[in-house]
A = this chain, B = another copy of it.
Amino acid sequence: MIIDALIDKIIATQNPTCVGLDTALSYLPEGMAGEVSSPDEAAEAVYRFNCGIIDAVADIVPAVKVQIAYYERLGAAGFSVFGRTCAYAKEKGLFVIADAKRNDIGATAEQYAQAFLGKTMKRNMLACDFLTVNGYLGTDGITPFLQACEDYDKGIFVLVKTSNPSSGELQNLRLEDGRTVYECMGDMVARWGAIAMGKYGYSSVGAVVGATYPEEAKILRARLPHTFFLVPGYGAQGANAEMLKNCFDKRGLGGIVNNSRGILCAHKKSGGDPYTAARAAALAMRADLQNVLGEICAK
């Protein structure tokens, strides 16, 4: 099962992180971005940069998270480079999380599910292992993704408590029954996840839980013992390793932490080769997390 394979790899690399390929053209070194004069050229430059980053980290991280918005921005060439980036990461042995937060009614969600996780005319169009989705529409909008998870051994992460400053506006409101909206969404995710439970006690149907809200993460970790967390918010968004302790269980498992700008833009701080800088940043992040996870496991 895909969630077991991901956790196996997290254990093997001793690194519950993923590198976020939210690759804006402005993140590239001047030498690479400077000659670009069209969205098509930008897409190719982004692809070259992504390959360099993937090569630099493939032996030390288990996964990449590819944020499709940055690719859609570049039109069809960008969409193509999104797919090629996923394929290249897969080739290098990385798990690929497509961060697309898709959502729609059943018949349409089916199209997204097949596009990202399934097949079109018997072909795999994208080499994604996991897809992020938004559960605002309820169960029948999620069912096609669950079906694709079952049919093709894939996984999804449903937005539960997001990392952004305004996430509480809706998500932290309290329902009549005493639960917050994010707890309610978490409960739905746990129910959906029953279809794909793996050997570590985690489901291939996981949740997005922002590292920037450690209190909510603590509540959710206790409430959803079988739900694996994709954790954004470390680094540029303001969360440190201490803050994301709450996302993990006593074994130090249960989550994967994303870092995008902290790795892609490491060269802007350090100067020098961007890939060397990215690897150094990824190693520093691993050490930072190992430190905190070591404390959890020692307890």
Contacts and interface: CB of A to CB of B under 8 A. Distances in A.
A161 to B, nearest CB: 10
Contact of A164 (B106, B112, B134, B173): B106
A141 to B, nearest CB: 6
Interface string A148-169: 0000000000010011111111
Given A72-B115, A170-B136, A39 B120 contact: yes
A115 B169 contact: no
A121 interface: yes
Number of copies: 2
A111 interface: yes
Contacts of A141: 162, 164, 166
Interface in A20-76: 22, 24, 37-39, 42, 67, 69-70, 72-76
A188 B165 contact: no
Nearest to A41: B121
A195 interface: no
A167 B137 contact: yes
Contacts of A114: 73
A103 B159 CA distance: 11
Given A37-B121, A67-B104, A72-B115, 5 more contacts: A72-B112, A75-B115, A76-B80, A136-B136, A140-B164
